[in-house]
Amino acid sequence: MGRLFGTDGVRGVANADLTAEMALGLSVAAAHVLAEAGTFEGHRPKAIVGRDPRASGEFLEAAVVAGLASAGVDVLRVGVLPTPAVAYLTGALGADLGVMLSASHNAMPDNGVKFFARGGHKLADELEDRIEYIYDEHRRGEPWQRPTGSGVGRVRSYDEGFDQYVAHLIGVLPNRLDGLKIVLDEAHGAASRVSPEAFSRAGAEVITIGAAPDGLNINDGCGSTHLGQLKAAVVEHGAALGIAHDGDADRCLAVDHTGAEVDGDQILAVLALDMRERSALRSDTVVATVMSNLGFKLALEREGLKLVQTGVGDRYVLEEMKQHGYALGGEQSGHVIILDHATTGDGTLTGLMLAARVAATGTPLRELAAVMERLPQVLVNVPDVDRGKVGTSAELATAVAEAERELGETGRVLLRPSGTEPLVRVMVEAADIEQARAVAGRLADAVKSALG
C-alpha cells in the first residue's frame, strides 16, 4: 500500500478514495496507536472532532466518531469549525486527540482526515506511519481489540467550542478594530460563522460574502483561491481592506482598499514589523519557504530582520519554528503561523492581526504592504523528465550557474522536482518580468535537454 498520509493528513475524493470504512478504520487505528504510546495512560481518553461544511463531512464525521467511540474514546463533536479551532480546542480542553474533516482549499468532491496530538499539534510522522501500518493490518484481517460495556466511548455535542474559540481570538488581539470597514470572504467554508463574529466583536464594521455554505459550494469561485469577488466588494463598499479564507480557514490572503491583492509574503512582512515593535518577534526572525518572493527577503534585510527558509509546506515551517522557538512563519499562499497563539496556520487570527495593525497605525494596508516590493516571478512546469536527476546533472548545474550570474543580487532561480508528478518546476525571479520570462524559458529548455 502506498503511503496514505500526505503533508496534511489523508485526502482524496470522498466516497471514492476516502470512504466511510477508511475513515472509521483510521480512527480506530489512531486510538490504538495513541494507547500503545501511553497517551491514554491513567485516564479515560477524549477526542475533539470537527469538520468543514462539505456534504461528505456529514457521513465521514459519523464514521470517525463511531471508530473512536468503538475503541473506547469519549468524543466531543464541535461541528463545523475551522481547522485551527479544532487544534486550539484539542489543547484547551485537554483532549488526547483532535480530528478535522476537511480538504482545505480543494474542490467540494474532495475531503480529508487530519489528526492532531495532545496540545493541538500535528501528529509526529512516526505516529502517522504506525497508524497506517495498524490500519493496513486490520484490512488484512487482523481483528481489533474492542472494549465492551462501560468501556465504550461516549459521544456528545460540544457547542461551546464556537464561543470558546472566538473568545480566544479576541483575547490575543493587541488592540480593537473600531472604525474599520472590512469585507470578509469565507469561501462558503468552515469560518462562515466564526470569522464574522470575531471581527464584529473586535469592533469592525463587517460586510460578509461567501458565507452561506450549503455543503456543495465550498471554495466555488470564492475564498483565497478566487479573489475576484472580494476585490470587487472592497471597492464597491469603500472598505479599508478585505480578508479571504480557504475552506478550512487555515489560510488568509488580503485585499487593500484599491482592490489590489496582498499575499502571504506581504502579510508576513507587515506582521513581522508589528511584532518587533511589540517585542513579540523572537530573535528578530521570520520563517518562510524557499518559494517566498525575493522581495520579501530583501525587505526583511532592509529592516534588519532575519529570514530562515525551509522546504515547501507549512509543516516544515512549523517544525523550524518549534525547534528554534521562532514566533512567526508562513507561506506565500497565506498559511501564517503565529506560534504564541496557535499551533497551526490560522486564517482568522492572521486577518485579525493584520486589521489590528491597520487600526493601530491609522495607515492604509496598501502603504503597510509597500514595505516589500514583489519582484516578478515566473513559474514553468517541465513535464515528462527524470525529476530524480535534478541535483546530479552537470549540464543543468552549468545552466543554473549562468542564469544566476545574469540575474545577480536582484534575481533568483529555483529548480524543484514535483513530489507527485514526473515534472520539474522552474521558478525565476528578476527585477524585470521580461528578463524573468527569458531566463525561465532557457532553463526550461535546459531541463528538457538534460533530464528528458
Beta-ladder partners of 10:
113
User: What is the enclosing helix (H) or strand (E) of 51?
Assistant: strand 46-51
Candidate list 56, 104, 192, 292, residue with the active-site label: 104
Q: Do domains 10-159 and 166-369 have the same CATH topology?
A: yes
104 is in an annotated binding site: yes
pLDDT at residue 419 greater than cutoff 70: no
State pLDDT tens for residues 277-330: 999 999 999 999 988 999 999 999 999 999 999 988 888 999 999 999 999 999
Residue for grid cell 461567501: 210
Q: What is the pTM of this model?
A: 0.92
Give the DSSP letter string of 205-238: EEEEES----SS-TTSS-GGG--HHHHHHHHHHT
* Domain 377-451, second-level architecture: 2-Layer Sandwich (3.30)
| Domain assignments of the chain as residue spans, ordered by start | 10-159, 166-369, 377-451
Yes or no: is domain 10-159 CATH 3.40.50.880?
Answer: no
Residues 6+ apart with CB under 8 A from 62: 20
220 is in an annotated binding site: no
3 state DSSP class of 239: coil
Q: For residue 388, name the pLDDT band (cuts at 50, 70, 90).
A: confident
pLDDT at residue 1 greater than cutoff 60: no
Burial of 264 (0-12, 13-18, 19+ CB in 10 A): buried
User: What is the enclosing helix (H) or strand (E) of 78?
Assistant: strand 74-80
Q: Is residue 104 flagged as an active site residue?
A: yes
Decide: 259 and 94 in contact? Cβ < 8 Å. no
Beta-ladder partners of 385:
none
State how far the Cα of 448 lies from the Cα of 40, in Å rounded to an integer: 53
Class of the domain covering 166-369:
alpha beta
The arithmetic mean of pLDDT across residues 442-450, rounded, is: 91
Say which amino acid occupies 288.
A
386 is in an annotated binding site: no
Q: What is the mean pLDDT of the chain?
A: 94
pLDDT at residue 416 greater than cutoff 90: no
Residues 6+ apart with CB under 8 A from 379: 425, 426, 427, 440
Residues 6+ apart with CB under 8 A from 57: 51, 80, 101, 102, 111, 215
The arithmetic mean of pLDDT across residues 99-124, rounded, is: 95
The arithmetic mean of pLDDT across residues 254-264, rounded, is: 98
State how far the Cα of 294 lies from the Cα of 372, in Å rounded to an integer: 9
pLDDT at residue 268 greater than cutoff 60: yes
3-state helix, strand, coil in the chain (%, to 5): 40, 20, 35
pLDDT at residue 77 greater than cutoff 60: yes
The arithmetic mean of pLDDT across residues 421-427, rounded, is: 85
The arithmetic mean of pLDDT across residues 59-83, rounded, is: 98
Residue for grid cell 490504538: 32
274 is in an annotated binding site: no
Looking at residue 32, its pLDDT comes to 96
Question: Which triple of cell numbers denotes residue 121?
Answer: 499539534
Q: For residue 144, name the pLDDT band (cuts at 50, 70, 90).
A: confident
